[in-house]
Structure 1
Amino acid sequence: MMICISCGAEYDNQEIIYTCRECGSILEVVCQPQVSRDIFECRKSTMWKYKEFMPVDHSLIVSLEEGGTPFCRCQKLGDDLGVELYVKVEGSNPTGSFKDRGMSVGITKARELGVDTVGCASTGNTSASLAAYAARAGLRCIVLLPSGKVALGKLAQAMFHGAEVISVRGNFDEALEAVTALALEGQLYLLNSVNPFRLEGQKSIGFEIVDDLGWKSPDRIILPVGNAGNISAIWKGITEFHEAGFISDLPRMTGIQAEGAAPIARAVEQGWEDIVPVENPETVATAIRIGAPVSAKKALRAIYESDGMAETVTDEEILDAQKLLARREGIGVEPASAASIAGLRKLVESGQIDKGEQIVCIVTGHLLKDPNTAINACKEPIEVDADISALSRIINQS
């Protein structure tokens, strides 16, 4: 069943509904399978390894082998910061972002419900993922993008996979309002993170983290926060494993937002239970350029329940962290992903993270999602004749 996180109203899993009819709040899927963790042994390392915790019809699964992403120990960067650092590289998913996990479950649910058209508003990664999974399932896909605000790599993916892309004059929040209205009229099945089944896929990041660590929780999980679905989903997944008796401890959830789009960080700073939306959010990290995140209440709950925190970082800190992670550890990520590393550095420097903590940073999207920003951050290549002497002079000057 689905349950309203505010008033507790209950809804059947076969009902197409996005928010509570009683109070207007957001919904959450209840999932409490009675299984042993031994059941996961010897299964293929995709997110469907944990299928008992995915409340959809398993005979209809739509998958591109998402999940099972690299869990990299970052010894050099961790030593620099005085922590035990791991990075969960979600850019290794099929379309290059964590959104594939949610779309696999969301599109599977769409098939189960018998819909023929799916849609979303997007800053880029959601549209790229939805387009690919809709194509896999043979469904029509409608995507609304804020005009001029989407990185080239993501736009290319959505279009190439056959989505019907509509450029909206406005920001993401306005595009989401419009596509939600279309969904409520029954013109499409909405697969933004307001759809609770989307988050059922994304919670598998939490499953994999504790599995990778030998069935224990890290001290802290740090991740970028945009529309706020991921931080709440990961917390939901880990708490489900905790309630099942698979692990004995829980992490502190730490959300990082760009200074120009930080309604959740501001709410945590003030101790609020809800956000004040940011009008006209702006940041180089396009994937988290969101002023009114739909999963804000879930995110705040995850942070407060876990004794976590939220922090803001500047665009300059994000771009510095992006380059640092690539050149220190060989992990290339888009700017929004680097917010987790930028936040870690800031929290260590301010003393809010203790030395020696075991930290997992989530990096959510691949470097080539936003190639222009990456290219602009680098020097132009040196041009020279194919002459050994000239090449030697340049190399020896370096």
Structure 2
Amino acid sequence: MKLVCIDCGQEMSSNDFIYHCTCGGLLDIVHDFHNYDADFLKHLFNERLAERMTPYASGVWRYKELICPELPEDCIVTKYEGNTGLYSSELIQRYTGLNQVSLKAQSENPSGSFKDNGMTVAVSHGKYLGYKNFTCTSTGNTSSSLAMYASIAHANSYVFVPNKDISINKVLQTIAYGSHVFSISGTYDDGIQFLEKYSSDLGLYVCNSINPFRIEGQKSIVYEIAQYLNWDLPDWIIVPGGALSNATALGKGLHDLFTLGFIEKMPRVAIVQADGACPFHKMIAQEKNELTPELRPYTRASAMNIGNPPSWKKAMHIIRQTNGITISVKDDEILDAKAIIDKSGIGCEPASAATVAGLRNLVSQRVIDKEESALCILTGNMLKDTDALNEYHFGESNHSTFKNALHPTSLAYDTIKKYIL
């Protein structure tokens, strides 16, 4: 296992831990899988499904050999993350126009988001290196996940969150786990730049997506999907795009599975961004090779409210590697899709619903054929942003297509009977 710069190709030991190459490029972890036996590993991973109360009961560490094989077991910090549900819904099928669609509910993770898959590996690696102080900048999900794992590891966490356009639920969750939270006047992107500049001097281990070990952990999402589907993946995988770490990890995991012979075909990847924060989609749509940051991004799907995604180069590689595409959707489309996902009994936060909104558009535009199969990754729990629920169902907006209002009424039989279907 070694670190390799995605820009210049310089190689270095994974023990010489840094976030950037001397050329400024991000680093990627490269494994030597040459002596790996796919059939043996499939059997091993299936056996570990029966594990209880060991690191291998985790839906991440079940795949330790493909993620961080050299990490000592006593350094693993886990809350048995992963193992999240894979669902189908007739309501979602009708809404998207696709008969074969399923949802991977990463919202069922311990802290309520997909960030746990990567954070368990990042914090475990930091513990292995001897760090006691961990940090991130966040729109909410990363911070709450880091705060949880740092507390489990008896370590300190210091997180930086923008002072506007984020969900207070996520901030409260982070505070409740005991983190030191700094509400900054800048954006997510400003926070990343600060940590890149000062984290080393401050002795802080950065747990954002610039950390390649976090990406390794997030690969487990697609490993788990593949194992649940008996190593037969759908034609399309749809993922929301904010910092683009999830898309990066998804593509990296797909490459691993295909290279090792776990899967016979490579699904196409679609990255969905919100209209108000879609610098990556604009770059791909305009066939450019450099991303132009958006200085004032805004979307109601706060987890995607990122104007300068740090992992855009890695995500661009994944789009090319999987013959993938990007799309942007309106906030109203995101919130309507969320209402449908919620009503289906699965539920999610707004950013997650961008996947279903994007899939619906791609089917209507005939980019995805109605006979193809697709899987949408839901990244966060529906209670991560209760303001969005309140505004959609109880607010005065005329754009809430599936509003489900309260029924103020007297407690009388004849009155109640009128509401019973």
- Structure 2 length normalisation: TM-score? 0.91
> Which residue of structure 2 lines up, in the alignment, with residue 156 of structure 1?
172
| Aligned match of 1:39 | 44
Query: Which residue of structure 1 lines up, in the alignment, with residue 139 of structure 2?
Result: 123
Aligned mates of 1:253, 1:186 — CA distance in 2: 38
Identity %: 37
- Kindly report which structure 2 residues correspond to 1:1-398, keeping only aligned pairs within 5 A, or say none: 1-21=2-22, 23-33=23-33, 34-35=36-37, 36=40, 37-44=42-49, 46-55=59-68, 56-80=71-95, 81-327=97-343, 329-379=344-394, 380-393=405-418, 395=419
Instruction: State the Cα distance separating 1:32 from its structure 2 match.
Output: 3.4
Aligned residues: 394
Distance of 2:166 and 2:203 partners within structure 1: 24
Deviations 1:252-296 (A, max 9, x none): 111000011111101111222331111110000000000000000
2:244 alignment partner AA: A
Cα deviation for residue 385 of structure 1 reads 3.2
CA deviation vs aligned residue, 1:146-180 (integer Å, no higher than 9, x gap): 01222021111100000000000011111221222
- Give the superposed CA RMSD: 1.4
Unaligned runs of 5+ in 2: 50-56, 395-404
Deviating beyond 6 angstroms after TM superposition, the runs of 4 or more aligned structure 1 residues are none
Distance (Å, rounded) in 2 between the aligned partners of 1:79 and 1:285: 23
| Alignment partners' CA distance in 2, 1:255 and 1:57 | 35
Contact 2:91 2:340 in 1 (8 A): no
Task: Look up the SS of the partner of 1:185 in the other structure.
Answer: helix
Contact 1:70 1:88 in 2 (8 A): yes
Displacement of 1:181 after TM fit?
2.0
Alpha-carbon shift at residue 382 of structure 1 (Å) = 2.4
1:338 is paired with a residue whose SS is helix
Q: What do residues 290-339 of structure 1 show as CA deviations (whole Å, max 9, x unaligned)?
A: 00000000011101111010000011111111112222x22211110000
For 2:282 and 2:99, the matched residues in 1 are separated by 26
Give yes or no for contact 1:274–1:296 (8 Å, CA) kept in 2.
no
> Distance in 1 between the 2:43 and 2:347 partners?
34
Q: What code does the residue aligned with 1:244 have?
A: L
TM-score (norm 1): 0.96
Q: How far apart in 2 are the matches of 1:108 and 1:365?
A: 22
State the Cα distance separating 1:79 from its structure 2 match.
Answer: 4.6
Per-residue deviation, 1:39? 1.6
Distance 1:32 1:338 in 2: 36
- What amino acid maps onto 1:67 in structure 2? G
Q: Deviations over 1:67-105 (max 9, x none)?
A: 111011223422551341010000000000000011000
Tell me which amino acid in the other structure corresponds to 1:164: H
